[in-house]
Structure 1
Amino acid sequence: ARYVLEGSVQRAESTLRVTVQLLDAKDGTHLWAETYDRELSAANIFAVQDEITEQVVATIAGVYGVISRARFSEVKEKPTESLDAYECVLKVVSYYSDNWDAAEHARGRDGLERAVESDAGYSEAWAWLCHTYLDEYRFNFNPRPDPLDRALAVARRAVASDSTSQLAHDSLAQTHFFRREFDAFLAEAERAIALNPNNAGILVSQGAYIFQTGDERGIALVRKAMTLDPFHPTWWYFPIARYHFKRGEYEEALAV
């Protein structure tokens, strides 16, 4: 295994301390560590176990988690034409976490189009390609004709390649949202969330769009996502700021 998760458990009366660290087995690099202190009782022992497990998994394995960020630095400097399909996906995710602009969009889109040519069954590559097509529409990045039709086609390919992929259903949900097909959007959003209710990246994307339909339950999803993944990009704050602005809470919006 490339990454090794180690931990220890200590207990003093009713206080439980769990210490966890993540190492890169390739070179022994220490990537992350955290200590969790919880009050423990017979009534909450399983709830505490589940809470800490969810937090650790989201922190290290989320789309913007510790492992992804460690890999980002490995692929960022590599020319797109030298990347394999997985590295193309990873590079696009790294751009979304940091500096997504028209130039990076063009390189990312080209890389993903090559990725699905070389591996037509790679659901995540189809899903991220959908996002780059949506960006032609929502950000006017390197627009080509019919971006929403192309986005719908590749999102459906993502789902067809892996019907259990959250990212595939997430991409299809977002496409329906921008096509103003809101019933289909909500159905796909609920399906994406149900596949893993603790995937912070899915929670924030679907929560933000659910909120834009007028349903304030979306904000609870965004807040949960931010709690699960402390390494999230700064743009995750935007739905919270928009929520306060919509309610006339301008000071709170500015604070966010």
Structure 2
Amino acid sequence: FMGTPVYSSPEQVAGAGREVDHRSDIYSLGAVLYELLCGQTIIDVSGFLDLPMEAVRKRILEKEPVRASSRFVSLPDAAKAEVSGQRGMTEARLIAQIRGDLDLIVAKCLEKDRTRRYESASALIQDLRNFLESKPVAAMAPSPVYRIRKFITRKRPAYAVWLEVSLAVVVLLAIFAFLRPRSSSSSFKNRSATSEIIDRSVAVLPLANMSSEPENGFFAAGVSEDILTSLSRIKQLFVISRTSTLDYADTNKSLAQIGAELGVRYLVQGSVQRSGGQVRIRAQLVDAQTSSPLWADTFTRALTAENVFAIQSEIAEAIVGALQVVLTPNEHDQLNKFPTENLQALEAFFKANIAWEKASGVGFEEAITHLEEAIALDPDFARAYAFLANAHLVQIYYSGLSVQEQSNKAEPLIEKAIQLDDRNGEAYVALGALKEYQGKFDEAEKAFLKGIDLSPNYARAYSAYGHLLHWNLSRMEEAVSVFRKAVELDPNNAGIESELAEALTAVYAFEEAQAILEKLVEKHPDFASGYHKLG
């Protein structure tokens, strides 16, 4: 064949017997647009010229290009800085702009099957214009759920002029390139699948702070979170995420209504009182359907980190016994493991939990400060290292910090966390996120699956894995299954619900996606950041 292989369509590369028409030029334009967006060609050309022609042909015909946003993320820091500098925005902002519609537009251009590409250059140009105006694009079927998202996007303040100009330049360059002459030639079980899991479904409601000092609320919240974390490691239980139980701290709703809204059979209630050198923790397990207690107890001990963990362990084991769950030896060991013996380190960790729940750049910075304090007080606090690594990584999105800089901060923390405790599921989820940012998607998948195996009720693990499957591995059906599991574990998390809706549109389940998104907008009328992230 003639022409530059990296810009040539599969039908051009295939040679004799394959019809070539104007849609080959659409493919070539997509290759140019891809390069303009992420600074890399659709196929890694290192050593390309040394390959025999048959190997080149095979690579073009069989290898699917990584999405442009993912390719950009995997670039060295200097290259990312150069490309984002040319666009006049931060790396995180550029990733957010490419990910979504631009990724889909380019992917439609680069379809191996030419019948799935744009029919004409005019259609492509119109889609690019639609993108700039925050209108639905043809690269994704214009379902009602998608139109709702675009409507919300248009209602937000318009993009800064410099951003539109920057993206317009990209469009014009791509159109110019088109006009130049070119030669022709996993799935996871959902909760509804088994009644056993439904019977053993639990939500730990926020424990009331009974201390005389209101500022001790962080301590009660931390105890709640740790009881939940202990239970969430048990595979025979189904445990709702704390994110979805926070709204029930001061509710007048009946236990039956709370259980129905969270989709669980049992609720854990209680209180924490911290006074002087003592701590008193009261807890009970209640059948939400009948309001009948299955177990209840009160624990009063000297205020030490060891006693706090011992009480939490006893509570978790009592709940497990009441639900007739038989623990594996490893689960039993995990329940009786004390992460730290330093009370001040534990308090700093609890404060980091509160800061994390703000879900903002400022909140994550506060969490980082508390976690660094916890590690300084106890250098062997494995959970603090994993938590700190996750906090650094989420700052890439929330605060627009450098991918490379944040990855460099997170990597040694993850290594230390796993070295101290190789059964820490949160550490492996952080490792998966790190590998995804580095463009090492196979390694990311292994890490996410390891994290899920160790913490089978950790909603964030499923959400992160679903993101990898959807955006970087293009395994859409699996992504939907994983996001469903995440939503079941964290039903009031708007971000996860919006990701499920997005994944459903990718498999053309438009009616279900619409229903989810309409309910989401109703429950969270001010939730705009999720829509912005998804395009």
TM-score, length-normalised on structure 1?
A: 0.63
Whether 2:425 is the aligned partner of 1:178: answer no
Distance 2:323 2:499 in 1: 27
Match of 2:418 among 159, 179, 191: 159
Partner of 2:484: 223
The structural deviation recorded for 1:159 is: 1.0
Partner of 1:124: 383
Distance 1:139 1:101 in 2: 6
Q: Name the aligned partner's letter for residue 159 of structure 1.
A: I
Q: Which has the larger radius of gyration?
A: 2
- For the 8 Å contact 1:22–1:31, the answer to whether it is kept is yes
The structural deviation recorded for 1:224 is: 1.8
Distance 1:181 1:229 in 2: 27
Match of 2:361 among 97, 102, 116: 102
TM-score, length-normalised on structure 2?
A: 0.33
Whether 2:297 is the aligned partner of 1:34: answer no
Distance 2:267 2:398 in 1: 40
Match of 2:503 among 229, 243, 251: 243
Match of 1:23 among 248, 265, 270: 270
Moved more, 149-158 or 24-33: 24-33
Distance 2:517 2:266 in 1: 36
Determine helix, strand or coil for the equivalent of 2:359. Answer: coil
Do the aligned partners of residues 237 and 144 (structure 1) sit closer, same or farther apart at CA in structure 2, a change above 3 Å counting?
closer
Partner of 2:207: none
Determine helix, strand or coil for the equivalent of 1:146. Answer: helix
Do the aligned partners of residues 90 and 202 (structure 1) sit closer, same or farther apart at CA in structure 2, a change above 3 Å counting?
farther
The structural deviation recorded for 1:152 is: 1.3
Do the aligned partners of residues 223 and 157 (structure 1) sit closer, same or farther apart at CA in structure 2, a change above 3 Å counting?
same
Distance 1:105 1:196 in 2: 22
The structural deviation recorded for 1:31 is: 9.0
Whether 2:344 is the aligned partner of 1:84: answer yes
Give the number of aligned pairs. 199
Determine helix, strand or coil for the equivalent of 1:158. Answer: helix
- The CA RMSD over aligned residues, in Å, is 3.6
Distance 1:165 1:130 in 2: 13
Distance 1:53 1:207 in 2: 30
The structural deviation recorded for 1:156 is: 1.2
Q: Name the aligned partner's letter for residue 157 of structure 1.
A: K
Moved more, 128-137 or 168-177: 128-137
The structural deviation recorded for 1:194 is: 1.6
The structural deviation recorded for 1:19 is: 6.2
Partner of 1:138: 397
Partner of 2:468: 209
Partner of 1:79: none
